[in-house]
Structure 1
Amino acid sequence: MHDPRVGDPVSELVDRTGMSDTDVEQVVRVMNALRDWHEAAERMSESSRRYMRLNETDMRALRYLIAAHNQKRQVTPGAITDYLGISSASTTKLLDRLEKGGHVRRGPHPTDRRALTVSVTEATRKDARESVGRQHARRFAVAAELSAADRDVVIAFLDSLSATEVVEAEGVTD
């Protein structure tokens, strides 16, 4: 429940000074809409992972490999390690799992005989395009329908909302 009139009736946490009931109600609707979007995004992400039979880290690795493919960049296991922020041992396990599942191929690096490259298989690239790619295209279309000014407002709002995490973390003391 996002309504501070219910969860914080005496304004100990949420300052509602100068806000009318209509203002508070509209803010509550914004918060509820954000919750609904978050839940929908989680369902879409879970659906894609189920469809492709992968976990979240596997999906992040595949998105990275697909982007690299689209940009005609070579990807090494070390680059995947850096991108995902996991250990090289975890990357090896991830690549073993993805290779066994037919999602990636490992091969020799074209210019460095000591290195390997990792690439996404065509079948997996197509599956990702049909699941995650189509969802992204629908979200892009919704954002594209906004005016430039409205997009700026949404960007500023979401940036400010994201920054609340940083403010919270900075205020934590031991």
Structure 2
Amino acid sequence: MDPRVMDPQEELVRRAGLADTDVDQVVRVLEGLRRWREAERRASEASRRYMNLGETDMKAVRFVIALRNQGRVATPGAIATHLGITTASTTKLLDRLVAGGHVRRFPHPSDRRSLAIEVSDETRRVARETVGRSHARRFDAVARLAPREREIVARFLEDLAATGEDVPQPPQD
């Protein structure tokens, strides 16, 4: 991560005007982000493995839980839209989740042409104990920052996310 090691000729990373202590701080921030991404990946993988779910399955479960928490009814169409997948893929996904005991389908309470999707009590409990507790710890870490610090971090993360918007994509065959 240290550009003094990875890019000593400054072909990509310009360090002009930065003291070594400044570069040390930048490297520390980037290293912290790398460690956080790795910890997040491990936690997400452990949770998915524990629940025997794939990444898309977990996203669907979180979405259905979030809708219920908002007093809204989850439907296959809403799940498809949220995940950006086809209705056929959504049907397969829901079949897997039903077979695993994670969700159940039932008639929509107000639209008899549609189905409603509900997460099982056990899956809701496990998701709360794993993903939910992890999110609560992240929320607490951010809440400990002063308002001005949160604004700086938010702006930094938004700027960092924008750096990925112009990443070249491999050619499609």
* Residues 1-174 of structure 1 mapped to structure 2, 5 A cutoff: 2-168=1-167
- Between Structure 1 and Structure 2, the one with more helix by share is 1
Gaps of 5+ in 2: none
Does the residue aligned with 2:164 lie in a helix, a strand or coil?
Answer: helix
How many Å separate the matches in 2 of 1:86 and 1:67? 19
How many Å separate the matches in 2 of 1:167 and 1:17? 24
Instruction: Name the TM-score, length of structure 2 as normaliser.
Output: 0.94
Tell me the percent identity.
58
Does the residue aligned with 2:74 lie in a helix, a strand or coil?
Answer: coil
How many Å separate the matches in 1 of 2:65 and 2:113? 23
Deviation at 1:26, TM superposition (A): 1.1
How many Å separate the matches in 2 of 1:24 and 1:82? 43
Does the residue aligned with 2:163 lie in a helix, a strand or coil?
Answer: helix
Structure 1: 4+ residue segments shifted above 6 A? none
Q: Show CA shifts across 1:111-149 (max 9, x none).
A: 222111111111111111011111111111111111111
Q: 2:129 is matched by which residue type in structure 1?
A: E
Instruction: Name the TM-score, length of structure 1 as normaliser.
Output: 0.94
Q: Show CA shifts across 1:141-166 (max 9, x none).
A: 11111111111111011000001112
Does the residue aligned with 1:75 lie in a helix, a strand or coil?
Answer: coil
CA-atom RMSD in angstroms: 1.6
